[in-house]
Amino acid sequence: MAKAASKNAKVKDAKASLEAKNWTKVIKSVRSPKTGAYTFKEQIVHKDKVADFLKAGN
């Protein structure tokens, strides 16, 4: 029979899941000046910093 999870474990996971919702995976296409081909730069950033990531040059 499975052991029941303690109440403290559930509270800790709830806090972690609330914090995880503040992060976003952003994918930006970047054109190579040498070949003209597109590459993709992806990064996990805080939701408040998404615009800064997209504005950055490379």
Q: What percent of the chain stands above pLDDT 90?
A: 52
pLDDT at 50 over 60: yes
Instruction: Please report whether residue 30 resides in a domain.
Output: yes
At 10 the pLDDT is 60
At 19 the pLDDT is 81
Q: CB under 8 Å to 45, separation ≥6 — which residues? A: 23, 24, 26, 52, 53
Count of domains forming the chain: 1
Instruction: Please report whether residue 16 resides in a domain.
Output: no
Instruction: Please report whether residue 56 resides in a domain.
Output: yes
Residue 41 binned pLDDT confidence (cut-offs 50, 70, 90): very high
Instruction: Please report whether residue 26 resides in a domain.
Output: yes
Span 22-35, mean pLDDT? 93
Is the whole-model pTM more than 0.85? no
At 31 the pLDDT is 93
Q: Find, among 33, 54, 55, 51, the residue nearest to 42 by Cα.
A: 54
Token pair 């950055």 in the structure block, residue? 56
